Amino acid sequence: MAEGDAARDASLPAPLTPDPETPPTAATGEMSLVGHLTELRDRLIRVVIVVAVASVVGFFFSDQLISILKSPIPGNKPLFFTGLGDAFVIKLKISVVAGIILAMPVILWQVWGFVAPGLTPSERRIVRPWLPLALAFFAVGTVIAYLILPYAAGFLIGFETPDLQALITASEYFNFVTTMFLAFGLIMEFPILLFGLSRVGIVTSQRLASARRPAILGIAIFATAITPGGDLVSPTVLGVTMYILFEGTIFFIRRSGK
């Protein structure tokens, strides 16, 4: 009888007990998809709040910013607006762009806070020092945009003739300027992104070097598409800058052993 009970017990499935070597998700510190989305939402809200506050600061200085950004126009040509609310919209747009630039340290910090948990401790130690460098690169990009602005504006206005007189609208001009500033600033984050991808094994210096020709073509197309105005100066400077950053990134990734 005892032998029959033992055989019957042996045929029953073993009770489900947690494996001590595979702790539950909560114990491992892993986050569910809903948790990731919640964290992303919270960080986006913080970014929006900081950008809004910085934009208010930018609005108070909008007149000075307009004067600075208008100065590269050759011949000190006046700017006109045609819509009743255009002047307010232009000030608001410049304020928001100024707010994004001022809030960039917080934006980068929030991006880092979202990405860092997915990296190993050694990867975090390697990538963390690049955060101040990313901020510096963004600042350099906006400075480059401001330096080439007179050449881009001069090139476009240079097609003026006695029969074709420039009547520059403020809305069109500041769309051109703000797009250029943001494009150059964000493009300067290009090497930071590639270096980060190399640390997690997605790209290597050899893979980037082998893709040099397609990268040059892609840079040329992107630089032409992203820069407003249709002049030759802006896409040329942007494309050359991107290519120098591309080659410099390959060099540093190779030096890091990747």
Asked if 97 and 178 touch (Cβ cutoff 8 Å), the reply is yes
The lowest-confidence range among 7-11, 17-21, 85-89, 112-116 is 17-21
- Residue 17: what pLDDT? 45
Q: How confident is the model at residue 49 (pLDDT cuts 50, 70, 90)?
A: very high
- pTM, full prediction: 0.66
**Residue closest to 249 by CA, chosen among 187, 200, 190, 199:** 190
- Residue 52: what pLDDT? 92
- Residue 27: what pLDDT? 42
Q: How confident is the model at residue 248 (pLDDT cuts 50, 70, 90)?
A: confident
- The whole-chain average pLDDT of the chain stands at 76
Q: How open is the CA angle 84-85-91, to the nearest 5 degrees?
A: 140
Q: Please say if the pLDDT value at position 24 is more than 80.
A: no
- Residues 167-223: pLDDT tens digits? 778 888 888 888 888 888 888 777 777 777 776 667 777 887 887 788 888 888 877
Q: How confident is the model at residue 106 (pLDDT cuts 50, 70, 90)?
A: confident
> Regarding predicted confidence, which is higher, 29 or 67?
67
Domain ranges within the chain, ordered by starting residue? 32-255
- Round to whole Å and give the CA distance between 255 and 133: 17
- Residue 39: what pLDDT? 80
Q: What is the 3-state secondary structure (H, E, C) of 61-107?
A: CHHHHHHHHHCCCHHHCCCECCCCCHHHHHHHHHHHHHHHHHCHHHH
